[in-house]
Structure 1
């Protein structure tokens, strides 16, 4: 049996040493490049040339083939048909369109799942998924991996040296591989054995003495039943880690196969949905870089104002940019919504200009490319009513298609004005790291302690305040270099090893400015509470004791007082006892601990540590604390209204308006404006050239 995986499997966030210089793939002076998904297998072949010519005429520079085409590539076991795809690639090249070639592992052919039904995912209740959708096969299935690699080998042999292929996308929006089948069970046990080496080490890590949960052999361990009340939290946590590992490892296997045949100018990536509790994002070490997909209007996010749902929540693209960029040598967006979708809860029309806004927002964060799903709107299948660049008649551009065309024309203007990669000095000075680990989020979310706690919403309170400052933000890992960030914010970082606490201490002691929020440092790196007073290992660092924490009822919120302002809170509050010399910036207003400290500020060596005890209801406390801190540190900040995003890249400034009001942007006199005007309407974009 093939080796299941490499020993030493914890996430490393390192990419392939084989990665080429990104300049070879995406030259700086091109700034960004734009493409569109096309499915030759969906349309009559006599329409392909018309469609690809239209794509090129609109300004697209590449297209995207074959991600769901396994049944067409291998219509029978071992019999491959590339002739139709060769014709499509040739037509694309004739129209000067490069091609992203995709592996089709999200959609296995029916002959495979009928011959080997064990490749299908098994649900917790023992039932299996069936043919006819996507992502229904298990990455843990040994047979599925074997058949996938056979198909990918043939695909790689056929197109690996083809200069018309710019790069490879593996799978499509891969998610955590949750499977209760026999192969998944076997691989889970092997994963645990590789991680812990001995059953005694596992018992200690999982705390199995509790409730007589002790194991004597790895073969006794089953995948935990997620619906069964009271299952060992650490077993569940490790199972979710394993599920994420299976996804990352499956992509690595694919990349190794492609790498055997790919030319040096072909890159390898995959496209993730930005789920911030997903450990597999960035964990596949054989990829050259990663990309994400983003849909903004589908009924879930109200945005700002009564019609904000047509523009979308402004942090969704911003946070995805800032989350992906530090994890990868470069990043792109593989799917950007071109108009209405069909799969949301309410599939509204985007506001005119919104698609154009999203394109510029993706670019503003540093993306090297943007692709849209899809060029032609489908007329059959599950995604009927999903907009494309071209409508259902196959010839007429949609409103979103015209906004893509507008963006691509504007990008040609920027290319002519490109000179360097400069950004303003004040922008650099407020660069902030936000320490974040998806494993920590998963651990908190499976043991919240209060129904009103929301980990991502808590992180967003700090993140949105920073974006309102006009700060460039990087979501960073504990393995990264802290020294380049004047300020690091650490929101709700519950699991902290002594090594991480030491690294944070040294960062502040050497001159960095650290901000920690509630729920930080309560547990060690294994997720166990300290055998010490509550959160005791971080007391010296924050200059205060955490006496206890409180959780309020939703109908009985309380307040915190800071600088003559009151801030409501409900979900979590750490009650602080400052040491001598530590400043108390805020105090609890009511209840039996009225007057006790809620926010502390502590000088540590050459730097500072601020601790924010409560999770405020609206984020206003978090914003007030950060404002006070940055002012104290003499870090210049802006005060942009909610929904205004301003970023700089490649010698250009970009301002974006997700709010429901016109906003007047103040630019230095004589600034050369390339796109838009200083009066920024809703969904408006302003681009200017730095002097």
Structure 2
């Protein structure tokens, strides 16, 4: 297979993936009536509690305003206590109680926790590590999606569940698995399936050898049967083999979810939707790749010891970009989306499980809503009294009765949403907000490829993207993370940060976008390789030269103990990890130059007019994102796009005719609203963890 044919094959597959969002939107429209704005649910595990308490708990859930609940996520052992023997009677009683109190049910497949009888009878279903050791029963996600027996047997259980509940109007929708991640397994079936996947992808071994560059180090294969799963701990393993293996692992996850959805659809009535709850990993290709899902949902926890937030107590509120970026990342893939797990309070599994700041849980709920989510669930209604997640808060505490602080904040949010439902807004989204609409061109596959070959241990791909993303959010800009098959024309500005692998077709598409009046921002590590991850057989990044109006002479990587600076508009910005040293053509503006090293005075930031549009190239990754912010400031000013200047941690979005502002910063912020704006929640002085909601005109 030639590179051109292979590219068309990959492009077709990618288009099929991204068309997922278009095809499912029509199916999903009626699931969530627009007038409801959003709905709120809580996980409940009947199998964890004495049945005499179920009605009390479910009644309390309804009294607090929850509209949905969520059953059977980890209950395979209760649903199928022995092979081929199914017991849905207990679950029927729980569903009946939910219906009695007008709670819709989301039914789950329990594939994250196979029962012990299945594991002991078929130990080959367990994931195998690279060193040959296997996982064991007693945890979750220990079975391999690559094991043929596990895949087929789990679908039998799902078929029984779907036959039982698929035509039940009390079941609102289905969640597949739980927080599925890339299926990394070194077992025999995974090895066979990897070879079969490669053969399907490449067609013949010559095409694989070409794509992997196996002539290097005598790595050439003559048959697919010679190929093993690459050793990730072995130094110098073929980078493209490792990249394809990671793609395969993601495929195993997305295809397993598709298989489940196909089985459920045979029995589900048209009003039941199907989703799963992803953890927002930005190097994961499986999110959005399961074409049988109706939409995407995600999981988000904010306080677990890993993020400092803003100020000395910011860890109690959380890193402000986490919900915002998840909203903006998933919404373009799935215009209808929801949040299946949102932290209800203190958790137990983090490195340091601090209490959230009062009002923080409500803040997160409003931030999820601001991005366009149609629903939010919380894990969980009752705090567990045994098991791995002891000390994890719920909506009510371990007594099963007393609402936790987070539970009260959920209750407050539900009441506020009901107030909005009774006070609908017909206002328009402000034009200046729409004018700031910006896309970030992003491909998780590109991130994996960079992270496999960083060139410097101080490089952080996600951190680099965040420097642009956070700057755009301080502008008050609506942001979409888009893929290369999506429409570019609707965005006045597109940012392509560290987009290292680029096909000539994508470069042509970006060139057309710019010539037609678009404004493109590219950063370091962009376009250095073709779509196969090979360096161009040309000058360094030469296919970009028309776009950037110059040449990248070479790149440099500094040592952490010897950082240097870039000068732009008489200000200095420190950098270490990556710098592209550039030469500009006549007519291309040099906005910033390197200083302090042997190439002092060479260009670091360029601005080029091309056709009716512009291209800005930021040839350095700064320490703190201040250079990236300054470049975007200068660009938007040049383009006469009005921007806000919100402090870090203050986020403003619009949806359904409402404006929503949230404050993660450690200081109160005075919001300026247009005259005549009707404030519905909060006031114009926005405190830490504060929320402001208003009607637009």
What do the CA deviations read for 1:272-305 (whole angstroms, capped 9, x no partner)? 0000000101100000001000000000000000
In the alignment, the residues of structure 1 paired with residue 430 and residue 263 of structure 2 have an alpha-carbon distance, to the nearest angstrom, of 44
Matches within 5 A, 1:8-87: 12-15=17-20, 17=23, 20-87=26-93
Matches within 5 A, 1:282-297: 282-297=288-303
Q: TM-score, normalised by structure 2?
A: 0.97
In the alignment, the residues of structure 1 paired with residue 327 and residue 426 of structure 2 have an alpha-carbon distance, to the nearest angstrom, of 21
Partner of 1:439: 445
Q: Say which of 243, 259, 262 aligns to 1:237.
A: 243
User: Does structure 2 retain, via aligned residues, the 8 Å contact 1:357–1:683?
Assistant: yes
**Secondary structure of residue in 2 paired with 1:390:** coil
Are residue 460 (structure 1) and residue 488 (structure 2) matched?
Answer: no
Q: TM-score, normalised by structure 1?
A: 0.98
Matches within 5 A, 1:162-173: 162-173=168-179
User: Does structure 1 retain, via aligned residues, the 8 Å contact 2:425–2:658?
Assistant: no
**Secondary structure of residue in 1 paired with 2:422:** helix
Matches within 5 A, 1:187-336: 187-336=193-342
In the alignment, the residues of structure 2 paired with residue 144 and residue 589 of structure 1 have an alpha-carbon distance, to the nearest angstrom, of 59
In the alignment, the residues of structure 1 paired with residue 600 and residue 169 of structure 2 have an alpha-carbon distance, to the nearest angstrom, of 70
Q: How many angstroms does 1:418 deviate by?
A: 1.5
Q: How many angstroms does 1:672 deviate by?
A: 1.1
Are residue 509 (structure 1) and residue 506 (structure 2) matched?
Answer: no
Q: Say which of 414, 421, 429 aligns to 1:423.
A: 429
Partner of 1:685: 691
Partner of 1:658: 664
Equivalent pairs, count? 686
What do the CA deviations read for 1:189-238 (whole angstroms, capped 9, x no partner)? 00000000000000000000000000000000000000000000000000
Q: Say which of 324, 346, 350 aligns to 1:344.
A: 350
In the alignment, the residues of structure 1 paired with residue 518 and residue 416 of structure 2 have an alpha-carbon distance, to the nearest angstrom, of 40
Q: Say which of 592, 597, 606 aligns to 1:586.
A: 592
User: Does structure 2 retain, via aligned residues, the 8 Å contact 1:390–1:398?
Assistant: yes
Are residue 642 (structure 1) and residue 686 (structure 2) matched?
Answer: no
Unpaired segments ≥5 residues, structure 1: 1-5
**Secondary structure of residue in 2 paired with 1:571:** strand
User: Does structure 2 retain, via aligned residues, the 8 Å contact 1:14–1:283?
Assistant: no
Q: Say which of 88, 91, 98 aligns to 2:97.
A: 91
What do the CA deviations read for 1:98-135 (whole angstroms, capped 9, x no partner)? 00000000000011011000011011011111000000
In the alignment, the residues of structure 1 paired with residue 504 and residue 213 of structure 2 have an alpha-carbon distance, to the nearest angstrom, of 19
**Secondary structure of residue in 2 paired with 1:327:** coil
Q: How many angstroms does 1:14 deviate by?
A: 3.0
Partner of 2:412: 406
Partner of 1:669: 675
User: Does structure 1 retain, via aligned residues, the 8 Å contact 2:441–2:482?
Assistant: yes
What do the CA deviations read for 1:322-348 (whole angstroms, capped 9, x no partner)? 000000131000000000000000000
Q: How many angstroms does 1:421 deviate by?
A: 6.8
Q: How many angstroms does 1:13 deviate by?
A: 2.5
In the alignment, the residues of structure 2 paired with residue 463 and residue 328 of structure 1 have an alpha-carbon distance, to the nearest angstrom, of 20
Matches within 5 A, 1:603-614: 603-614=609-620
In the alignment, the residues of structure 2 paired with residue 108 and residue 433 of structure 1 have an alpha-carbon distance, to the nearest angstrom, of 41
In the alignment, the residues of structure 1 paired with residue 258 and residue 159 of structure 2 have an alpha-carbon distance, to the nearest angstrom, of 14
**Secondary structure of residue in 2 paired with 1:121:** coil
What do the CA deviations read for 1:499-529 (whole angstroms, capped 9, x no partner)? 1100110100111000000000000000000
User: Does structure 1 retain, via aligned residues, the 8 Å contact 2:28–2:294?
Assistant: no
What do the CA deviations read for 1:647-676 (whole angstroms, capped 9, x no partner)? 000010001000000111111233211111
In the alignment, the residues of structure 2 paired with residue 676 and residue 652 of structure 1 have an alpha-carbon distance, to the nearest angstrom, of 13
**Secondary structure of residue in 1 paired with 2:652:** strand
Partner of 1:3: none
Q: Say which of 387, 390, 400 aligns to 1:394.
A: 400
What do the CA deviations read for 1:577-631 (whole angstroms, capped 9, x no partner)? 0111100011111211100111000001010000000000000000000000001
* Alignment CA distance shift 1:358-1:588 (3 Å): same
In the alignment, the residues of structure 1 paired with residue 62 and residue 29 of structure 2 have an alpha-carbon distance, to the nearest angstrom, of 23
In the alignment, the residues of structure 1 paired with residue 693 and residue 230 of structure 2 have an alpha-carbon distance, to the nearest angstrom, of 52
**Secondary structure of residue in 2 paired with 1:86:** helix
In the alignment, the residues of structure 2 paired with residue 222 and residue 9 of structure 1 have an alpha-carbon distance, to the nearest angstrom, of 24
Q: How many angstroms does 1:20 deviate by?
A: 4.8
In the alignment, the residues of structure 2 paired with residue 19 and residue 189 of structure 1 have an alpha-carbon distance, to the nearest angstrom, of 35
Partner of 1:119: 125
Q: How many angstroms does 1:564 deviate by?
A: 1.0
Matches within 5 A, 1:430-579: 430-579=436-585
In the alignment, the residues of structure 1 paired with residue 171 and residue 572 of structure 2 have an alpha-carbon distance, to the nearest angstrom, of 59
In the alignment, the residues of structure 1 paired with residue 113 and residue 427 of structure 2 have an alpha-carbon distance, to the nearest angstrom, of 41
User: Does structure 2 retain, via aligned residues, the 8 Å contact 1:662–1:679?
Assistant: yes
Q: CA RMSD in A?
A: 1.1
User: Does structure 2 retain, via aligned residues, the 8 Å contact 1:435–1:477?
Assistant: yes
User: Does structure 2 retain, via aligned residues, the 8 Å contact 1:422–1:649?
Assistant: no
